[in-house]
Amino acid sequence: MSLREANGVSDEAIPNTPRRLFRCLGLDKVSKNTLPPRPAAPRNDILFVFLLFSFILFSCSTSTPQPTPQPVSVYSTSAAQPWLTELYVCAESSAVISRVDDPSATDIILRVGEPEFLVAPAYQIDEEEILIVTHRQSPVQNLTLEEARALFAGQGDASVQVWVYASEEDVQKVFDQAVMIERTVVSSARLAVNPQAMSDTLVNESNAVGILPRHWKAGDVREVFSVATVPVLAITQAEPESVIKELLACLQK
């Protein structure tokens, strides 16, 4: 007799005990379909997509090195300064603009009107109108060419004060060629150092009459004669390349 039989438990009764326990707990009604599915083995295509996404993310996060700005020297006449401002905008991060006082030792020259002798490459980037301008209360009214020439030659109203620029200034050269035509400006004419000084004088002095580029016209002044419309030029020492070529193309837009 086995130990189990000695204790009053038969071999046949043992298998029924778990069944009764399952029935009591309600687990005998659990079907195979309710069991959680066996996790599937990882697929190679999912792994590939993960690696590809990681590579793209890494590539996008890597910053592209910026090109080193190139130095460009510029000479600008006083009248051409509005386009110097535009040149700084065009340069942005591609060039470092430095102004120089010697037009013979520069990459780009900005000026209003054509020089008397032009042997270097020149590119028109805009145009400018040169005006004779007076204070609003000036007795000078609209002028003809002959009246303008006579006024600046000292043959006009004696109460009017004529203002001009130094003879080497580009605006003065345009005026002399278009108006004076081999005649000289009256010796009592006063000199303005630049268009800004001329503009300030014409705004503040009631008896003043002077020469002003349209881009510099400001305040309550009156234009009485249009001298000429001339090109604004960018002149280079040689055929432009690389960054200088890009700057000129930007100025011409």
- pLDDT at position 210 is 98
In sequence order, what are the residues at sequence separation of 6 or more whose Cβ sits closer than 8 angstroms to the Cβ of residue 142?
Answer: 224, 225
DSSP, res 152: H
Global pTM? 0.73
- pLDDT at position 41 is 52
Question: Mean pLDDT per 10-residue run, the chain (253 residues)?
Answer: 46 48 48 51 59 58 69 97 95 91 94 94 98 94 96 93 97 97 94 98 96 96 97 96 95 93
Exposure string for 34-65, b = 16+ CB within 10 A, e = fewer: eeeeeeeeeeeeeeeeeeeeeeeeeeeeeeee
Measured in residues, the chain has a length of 253
Closest CA to 194 of 211, 218, 214: 211
In the chain, where the domains are located: 70-236
C-beta separation of 219 from 199 below 8 A:
yes
- pLDDT at position 7 is 46
* Strand-pair category, 122-135 with 70-76: unpaired
Is 159 exposed, middle or buried (CB count within 10 Å of its CB: 0-12, 13-18, 19+)?
A: exposed
DSSP, res 13: G
Distance CA 15, CA 160 (A): 131
Distance CA 159, CA 140 (A): 10
- pLDDT at position 93 is 79
| 1: its two tokens | 């007799």
**Phi, psi angles (nearest 5°) of residue 21:** -65, -45
Does CATH number 3.40.190.290 belong to domain 70-236?
Answer: yes
Distance CA 153, CA 94 (A): 48
Is 104 exposed, middle or buried (CB count within 10 Å of its CB: 0-12, 13-18, 19+)?
A: exposed
pLDDT for 121-170, tens place per residue? 999 999 999 999 999 999 999 999 999 999 999 998 889 999 999 999 99
- pLDDT at position 68 is 85
**H or E element: which one contains 197?**
helix 195-204
C-alpha separations of 155 from 134, 149, 208 in Å = 17, 9, 15
For the chain, give the mean pLDDT: 84
- pLDDT at position 1 is 47
Q: Read off the amino acid at residue 187.
A: S
C-beta separation of 209 from 132 below 8 A:
yes
